[in-house]
Amino acid sequence: MRPSLYYKAMIFLLVMIACVAAIGCGSGLVESTSNQSSPLSTALELTPSTGVVQQGSSIHFGFSASNGTIADSHCTWSSGNVELLVSEGSGTYIGKGLGSTTVSATCYGQTASAMVSVTSPANPMAIRITAGGIYTGNWNSIDPKVPAVTILTDEPVALRNSTISSRGDLIVVYGGPEGANLTIDNVTGTALDPGIAGQGRGTFLDAEVMSRLSVTHCTMHGVSFGIYIVSSKLESLNLRDNIADNLEDRKSNGNGGFLLNQRLLGHFIMFNGVAMPNGGEVAWNQMINSDGVASVEDVISFYQSHGSSEKPVLVHDNYLHGAFATGQTTPYTGGGIQMDGGSNDPSTATGFVHLENNTVVHLAGFGISIAAGHDISVFGNRIVSCGKDSSGNWIGMPGSSALVMWNYYQTSQYFNNYMTNNSGGLVRPDANGNPSIGDVAAPSASSSLNDIVGANFFEQPCLASSNPNLIAESLEWDRWLKTVALSGESLGDQH
């Protein structure tokens, strides 16, 4: 700890009194010292000759023992790069930036240097879990390469009543031979700007090789992906009562902003190569992206992922508001809920998914799309998109539709798909920038393959006298709040 100014002043006063009493201080001391010969017996060297210091920490350099006694008052210290390393004098330096530089000391006319690397600080608030159990805490990571929570065990692990933040991923799970077994309940996670150009924000949950997964009553702020599950055979799945806001998949410019047209193509919930033979439930989740501060691709995506004929995956009663990419100049390709993946293999093709009573609002792209897969039913959902942002600018893309039935990959695994009893309406710009209706695009509808678009009821709430009526989207939010209240569901982190 540095001495106070008062303490320094008192030391100076006592030294001056002693000098006057001895009648020997002052110019005589300076003259005597200046006439001394150098006490160095060998070339000046610093110790250590190389050093490593973490940001915010200090490192001290001295002189090699063979150099004799060196008075620090005869030495001048300096840093090769004050943006990385700041000299505190007397051989002490404070790590500031990240990188390598030199430190130098000049004593009695000789100069010596040493190399110093400044590294990211350790993550004392990050955790690595290697054994099963219930874990509660406040975890964070300031290193974009280090997750705040890393789980490396197949034993049952539960994260409960916790708060997580990270400049990288928040929770990362790597399952072993049996597959990871994870429960996350009442956890709030916040993704931070990584501060590195070309890197995006972290994922709330990045889960690989899972056997069981339950994520309930969690709140996610500013993540690039909410829940991303890959390469797994899930015996049980429960994603329920979660909240996400302002998903952000744009890559950082390193200075608090974003790089133009560079995105991670993030999702709120994504299954990638996931088999769910016992089905699963994705229900009562709420995602809201605000104009100008968010960017996401498909909000919910099934990519080469499936339930079973006996137990399909149930995706119901979710509220998804805002599918767009803020500040981009390239065409937007995402939307609300997407069935995806070009597989001709029945064991990996997307399929056996039932979408019911979901509300999808405020879209640049499509509402619900079957771009791949079989045995997918889209029943009783509501898609309401007025096509413009709160400033009156078009976010809707020409050609967007509320419902899409299109075998995009032209695979053999496209059959038994059904869209009926859906409602609402989507407004998009035509070639002249005027409002037009985009309800159903079904180039792959086929009675022979049982790919059927049944009766849907698009009452077009967004069109009032042929102009987009954004109040219609607000009414969907009001309806959702009433539905949640009547259901008795409690959404988001409750701890």
pLDDT tens by residue, 312-332: 999 999 999 999 999 999 999
- State the sign of the Cα–Cα–Cα–Cα dihedral 232, 319, 299, 194: negative
Percentage above 70 pLDDT, the chain: 90
Whether 237 and 298 map to the same domain: the answer is yes
Range of the domain at 315: 127-487
Rounded to two decimals, what is the model's pTM?
0.78
In a domain, 4, yes or no: no
- Identify the band that residue 121 occupies on the pLDDT scale cut at 50, 70 and 90: low
The answer on 197 and 253 residing in a single domain is: yes
Contact 315, 337 (CB under 8 A): yes
The number of angstroms, rounded, from the C-alpha of 309 to the middle of its chain's C-alpha atoms is 34
DSSP H or E stretch at residue 476 = helix 471-487
pLDDT digits (tens, 9 = 90+) for 175-199: 999 999 999 999 999 999 999 999 9
Looking up tokens 């055979």 gives 233
Q: Are residues 201 and 330 part of one domain?
A: yes
19 located within any domain: no
99 and 161, same domain (yes or no): no
Let me know whether 61 and 180 are in one domain: no
> Same structural domain for residues 394 and 426?
yes
- How confident is the model at residue 428, as a pLDDT? 96
Among 121, 141, 163, give the residue marking a domain's end.
121
Quick check: is 492 in a domain?
no
Residues 113 and 133 in one domain: no
- Residue 90 is predicted with a pLDDT of 84
Contact (Cβ atoms closer than 8 angstroms) between residue 339 and residue 353: yes
219: burial class by Cβ within 10 Å (0-12, 13-18, 19+)? buried
**Whether residue 173 sits in one domain with residue 137:** yes
- 136 and 104 fall within a common domain: no
Residues 149 and 281 occupy one common structural domain: yes
Residue 103 lies in a domain: yes
Confidence check: pLDDT of 268 > 60: yes
Last residue of a domain, one of 121, 146, 176: 121
Do 321 and 397 lie in a common domain? Answer: yes
The percentage of residues in the chain with a pLDDT greater than 90, rounded to a whole number, is 74
Number of domains in the chain: 2
Do residues 412 and 376 lie in contact, with contact meaning Cβ atoms separated by under 8 Å?
no
Contact 411, 349 (CB under 8 A): yes
Does residue 52 or residue 282 have the better pLDDT? 282
pLDDT at 28: 32
Q: Which of 96, 121, 146 is the last residue of a domain?
A: 121
Residue 79 pairs in a beta bridge with: 103
- Cα distance between residue 472 and residue 456, in whole Å: 19
Q: What is the CATH number of the domain that holds 52?
A: 2.60.40.1080
Given pLDDT bands bounded at 50, 70 and 90, which one contains residue 31? very low
Q: Taking the CA atoms of the chain, what radius of gyration do you get in angstroms?
A: 31
